[in-house]
A and B are shown apart, each in its own frame.
Chain A
């Protein structure tokens, strides 16, 4: 798939949304939005409404996603584009209009099986034959009036939202309470006919159970009376949803599977075991706490910067040579065919910077302090440069203590204070995992210097506490947050996190959402509005899912 043409129709409101999504193609001026000249074959910059010039071939495939995102983000939907199946095929005239109603992020049916439930009811496990739940989803869709068709196409259920009385009558076959009940009385408030909360535990009442005993029903899993199971379904579901620790589990069937075969029952049971509650214990497997690991190593250095600049210049030169060669062949072809010669290519000038922003490029070390230190530490300095008006000296880990001693003790350096010490995690780097930086300040000479050391995973650094006592807590913080140990430190323990904390929080593989944090799918139902709508709709159908409130 590739996008060959992009243009902007009338009605642009200059909202900058497209430039935020795809700055390579769109440029928003004071009164209109343009397709940039750099992205176009003809090199002009305009709305591209009349001419409909094609995009450059290298951009066609690369920027496809960004352009589609920009078109979707346009509030007035004036960004139009041509999309073809492959770059090789000839561009067709088929305009792919932007969908007028962008679909809410709903997973297709196959993905919904694997993904955790996206249903508005937080506690109900999805893979079960869940008639009530499906109805509520449809009710929500009907209420919103937007997603019903999508869901109807995806799900095998009937398209129209059937009311609960028309559909197969569902009932609860089993209710049991797993371990971990905190005796909070929430379930008894919701469903007093089924649950009884005692001093120490919560039980299923004898009156509704088939075997007539009263217990937690955890081991035996005896069934409910069929009439009770049908009558009390909504209150049981509500009670399970309101349980703060999610220990109330239940099984629901419809009329078609009134007497389920044992195999199906076992499957349903297994599904309940797998479905995770709102508290995710295995935080690494939860879908919304997957950590995106960085792919680059943003370690500033003069050497890499110079190499990058050289490579960029070489690429620019090669492009220019290719442009000229293309022009020559096109000219020869045009001459042979007797047509007018094409326009000669114009070399693109470097981008003019009309902002107050200028990247502070690194430069060679000229400061006498850096030169002096490089003399003193011959061979142990990896690199030294200046950037943003700061002096940076990268040393080998073996020479670190020596460097710090020189910095403090040398009469011409006199860096008395270690102002700051911290580390950075570079998981994508080869040969090292962390950089540790020491910010030294010379109070008498009004100077700052940064010492940088690269550390491997599991490698110990020598502690600087003997030279700079202020390193004590800072090294403990680095150990706490990154797991870098400092040998010779008087008290190498965690400082901010508790002693039994697992993992090192500032490493890149550590998720932002932690343990025990409530697993809310923010995008799906952030404020609980869908849940409330579902409750209202269910109330119209005669099901009471409302939580009784004090007022």
Chain B
């Protein structure tokens, strides 16, 4: 009398909760998901191909546009990757400033994640509070390099210019009130019963699966692993910084929320250390006027807000362009775990799972 059949629906690519143009093909049995296939590529621009046709200097502007909410981290990955390819030693002051800006960028990225993720799940208010602080950091970026989003902040061999006068004051003013702001977010969410119902036990991914699927960043650390590239393979000036890796063991959406909040606190600590211990000296290494590479290949990974961001370069003898450039995008690899997280769960949990993975489609598709 009743006919039952599996239903296939598309989530996205224009659904607001998919953070851009992610399309997820879902097979539903009632409201339970039996199969989940993310379909990507709507934002594919061929960044790798473009960068092969631009010089090492010019290619940096395309990294702004892969993960556009964490462009400073991308700039750092590009600059350090090229420096590793050429064997360039960067002055210590430049390293400190880079570290400070990258940590500020981590805060903006996590704030954007917090606001939109909470908005997806149904908590409206925290979005406004998160964007209030994000604006302030974007003003700091504007003061440092002149742009708020597509920063192009660093140069190969250091920085274009030293910190502008007054920037330290801006950062200190932000630092003075930021810890209270995190407490405000916690007041709104951490004990909130609706938030807990929507996140605890949702989108589970244990450490073993996460490592097998190559998932890195806060998603891996919420499953109990303490793998953080800032500690494991220190770059920039992280080896001189005193901070802790935030971990949780529950491996669910709520644990990832706690990890990211704790990462913001640790970022706050690192920024304070950078400001206090900022060494004097030049900010740019001595370089020849035209950079010409030798035959070499490097893979340089940094801990971006979303996970391990790696740049793979192949240099050609006498070449001013990279012979091959590849971006190991954390969002791309992390998105593989989506189907593992949601199969057997309810449809509403897919929204939470996409939000908790913190994917940026500009980076997934490149």
Contact = CB atoms under 8 A, between A and B. Distances in A.
B107 to A, nearest CB: 25
Contact of B41 (A294, A300, A495, A510): A495
Interface in B274-300: 285-290, 294-299
A298 B317 contact: yes
Given A19-B289, A388-B84, A443-B211, A360 B299 contact: no
A406 B333 CA distance: 23
A162 B17 CA distance: 64
A526 B285 CA distance: 36
A417 B289 contact: no
Contacts of B308: 419
A506 B290 contact: no
Place the interface of chain A in its size category. Answer: 35 or more
Interface string A207-244: 00000000000000000000000000000000000000
A525 B287 CA distance: 36
Contact of A469 (B212, B310, B365): B212
A472 B336 contact: yes
Contacts of A356: 88-90, 157, 285-287
B315 interface: yes
A357 B288 contact: yes
A474 B312 CA distance: 14
Given A298-B317, A388-B85, A419-B301, A439 B212 contact: no
Contacts of A417: 211-212, 214
A300 B296 contact: yes
B323 interface: yes
A355 B285 contact: yes
Contacts of B294: 359
A390 B312 CA distance: 12
B326 A388 contact: no
A120 B25 CA distance: 49
A496 B85 contact: no
Interface string B205-217: 0000001111110
Interface string A393-437: 000000000000000000000001111101011000000000001
B29 to A, nearest CB: 22
Contacts of A416: 211-212
Interface string B185-202: 000000000000000000
Most buried by B among A294, A420, A481, A512: A420
Contacts of A494: 41
Contacts of B227: 443
Given A416-B211, A420-B328, A470-B212, A448 B233 contact: yes
A16 interface: yes
Nearest to A472: B336
B232 to A, nearest CB: 5
B41 A358 contact: no
B46 to A, nearest CB: 6
Interface in A436-490: 437, 439, 443, 446, 448, 450, 468-470, 472-474, 481
A424 B46 CA distance: 15
A512 B326 contact: no
A299 interface: yes
A296 B314 contact: no
A305 interface: yes
A298 B310 contact: no
Interface stretch (B47-55, B65-73, B265-273): B47-55
A23 interface: yes
A419 B46 contact: no
A424 B323 contact: yes
Given A356-B157, A357-B285, A448-B233, A496 B44 contact: yes
A387 interface: yes
Interface in B331-355: 332-333, 335-336
Contacts of B30: none
Contact of B315 (A298, A354, A358, A468): A298
Contact of B289 (A16, A443, A470): A16
A505 B44 CA distance: 11
B122 interface: no
A388 B296 contact: yes
A472 B50 CA distance: 25
Nearest to B53: A512
B51 to A, nearest CB: 11
Most buried by A among B157, B297, B319: B297
Contacts of B315: 298
A510 B50 CA distance: 12
A420 B84 contact: no
Interface in A356-397: 356-360, 387-388, 390, 392
Contact of B86 (A19, A359, A437): A359
A510 B314 CA distance: 18
B151 interface: no
B87 interface: yes
Contact of A512 (B41, B50, B324, B328): B50
A364 B317 CA distance: 21
Given A357-B88, A417-B214, A496-B41, A424 B233 contact: no
Interface string B302-329: 0000001010101111010001101010
A105 B59 CA distance: 27
Contacts of B102: none
Contacts of B332: 473
A359 B312 contact: no
Interface in A252-297: 294, 296
Contact of B214 (A305, A390, A418): A418
Contacts of B53: 512
Most buried by B among A387, A496, A512: A496
Interface of B: 40-41, 44, 46, 48-50, 53, 84-90, 157, 211-216, 225, 227, 232-233, 285-290, 294-299, 301, 308, 310, 312, 314-317, 319, 323-324, 326, 328, 332-333, 335-336, 365-366
11 contacts: A298-B316, A298-B317, A304-B295, A355-B285, A357-B87, A357-B88, A357-B288, A419-B216, A469-B212, A470-B333, A496-B366
User: Can you list the 9 inter-chain pairs with the closest CB atoms, starting with the nearest?
Assistant: A470-B214, A356-B285, A420-B328, A496-B41, A298-B316, A422-B326, A424-B324, A360-B87, A496-B44
Given A19-B290, A437-B299, A439-B312, 8 more contacts: A294-B323, A298-B317, A359-B86, A387-B297, A388-B85, A446-B233, A469-B212, A470-B333
